[in-house]
């Protein structure tokens, strides 16, 4: 894993591009990207994002902001990107012999739903927050159905090839070293059924379009600002791409599987969603399948990123996915 202090030493010089006078900078998070919290001498706060090399092209990063800016223009609660004094959204920086793109966005003071779940959980607030998340998600999907990207727009697809093709976006989960031969055969057999079901669902704009694709409880953010306390923001659009709207719903519910109140949590999210868009019964019935697809994608992602330290959870995840797979056999 990258040493964030060494990376910071190599990128801090690019802050001149924003003409910022920095008072303090510290590590905020490290996963796909490295994020630093930056405070200026004028007490303004920003998130400095150093993007992982090889994950997105420059055109794909600019396209991410094309979509988020379109969402912001319609009043969506997202942190604004801060352009350089030259009007650029990203600065290329040489890091360890390669190029990484660095961007700056507004800092949001608040807590993720993950923190809300782990620290002195307030279930009433959690249910209300998931209801709010569902409503925001449905509005995002409504926007996607109507929005027309520019001709230069480039983002990946979480479609059949994106999950199950020769080179899935998050990796060939069935080839993970944590999947034994019998499990591989089971997963490949169920994969055929998943592909058939997704084929029947189709990819018309009614069911398929731009999605966040990673709306887990760490990316659902409640503001602690006095003027917008407990207002929800969606953060980290790094994985955003074209996909099924039902996948966003499944990702938001995924981390709550196994809880005794899972049905209440699901009901809260869907109640918020259906304030904006009613789900057909046959689409609602597909949510367990998309929960399974999320599980499979995570096997590929964790296997490909051993440096993140999640490998210990892989055996349990594979066993869980194989148990799920038995429900999706031809």
pLDDT averaged over 10-residue windows placed end to end, the chain, 330 residues: 87 93 93 92 95 92 96 92 96 91 93 79 89 96 97 97 95 94 96 97 97 95 77 92 98 95 96 97 97 97 84 91 92
Q: What is the rounded distance in angstroms from the CA atom of residue 67 to the CA atom of residue 48?
A: 20
Spell out the domains of the chain, with CATH numbers in brackets: 4-107 (3.30.200.20), 111-328 (3.90.1200.10)
Write phi, then psi, for 261 (nearest 5 degrees). -105, 25
Find the distance separating the first CA and the last CA of the chain, reported in whole Å. Answer: 41
Give the predicted TM-score (pTM) of the model. 0.94
Q: Is 60 helix (H, G, I), strand (E, B) or coil?
A: helix
Q: What is the rounded distance in angstroms from the CA atom of residue 269 to the CA atom of residue 260?
A: 16
* 147 neighbors 70 (Cβ within 8 angstroms): yes
**Cα–Cα distances in angstroms (integers) from residue 238 to residues 91, 127, 241, 292, in the given order:** 16, 26, 9, 22
**Cα–Cα distances in angstroms (integers) from residue 79 to residues 71, 121, 232, 325, in the given order:** 11, 26, 11, 38
Query: C-alpha 288: how far from its chain's center?
Result: 19
**pLDDT for position 119:** 62
**pLDDT for position 38:** 96
């Amino acid at each position: 894993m990258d040493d964030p202090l060494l990376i910071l030493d190599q990128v801090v010089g690019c802050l001149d591009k924003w003409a910022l006078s920095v008072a303090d900078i510290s590590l905020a998070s490290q996963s796909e990207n490295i994020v630093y919290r930056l405070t200026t001498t004028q007490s303004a706060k920003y998130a400095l994002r150093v993007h992982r090399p090889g994950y997105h092209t420059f055109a794909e990063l600019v396209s991410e902001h094309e979509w988020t800016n379109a969402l912001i223009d319609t009043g969506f609660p997202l942190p604004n990107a801060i352009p350089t004094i030259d009007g650029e959204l990203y600065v290329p920086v040489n890091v360890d012999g390669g190029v990484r793109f660095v961007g700056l966005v507004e800092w949001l003071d608040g807590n993720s739903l993950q923190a809300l779940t782990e620290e002195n959980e307030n279930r009433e607030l959690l249910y209300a927050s998931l209801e709010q998340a569902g409503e925001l998600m449905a509005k995002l999907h409504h926007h996607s159905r109507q929005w027309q990207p520019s001709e230069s727009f480039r983002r990946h697809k979480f479609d059949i090839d994106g999950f199950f093709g020769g080179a899935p976006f998050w990796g060939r989960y069935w080839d993970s070293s944590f999947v034994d031969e019998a499990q591989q055969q089971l997963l490949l057999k169920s994969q055929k059924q998943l592909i058939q079901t997704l084929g029947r669902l189709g990819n018309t704009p009614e069911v398929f379009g731009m999605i966040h694709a990673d709306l887990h409880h760490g990316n659902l953010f409640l503001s602690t600002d006095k003027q917008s306390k407990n207002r929800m923001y969606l953060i980290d659009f790094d994985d955003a791409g074209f996909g099924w709207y039902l996948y966003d719903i499944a990702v938001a519910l995924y981390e709550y599987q196994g809880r005794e109140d899972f049905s209440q949590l699901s009901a809260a999210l869907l109640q918020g969603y259906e304030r904006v868009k009613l789900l057909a019964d046959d689409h609602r019935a597909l949510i367990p399948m998309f929960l399974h697809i999320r599980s499979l994608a995570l096997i590929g992602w964790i296997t490909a990123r051993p440096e993140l330290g999640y490998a210990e959870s892989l055996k349990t995840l594979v066993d869980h996915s194989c148990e799920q797979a038995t429900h999706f056999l031809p």
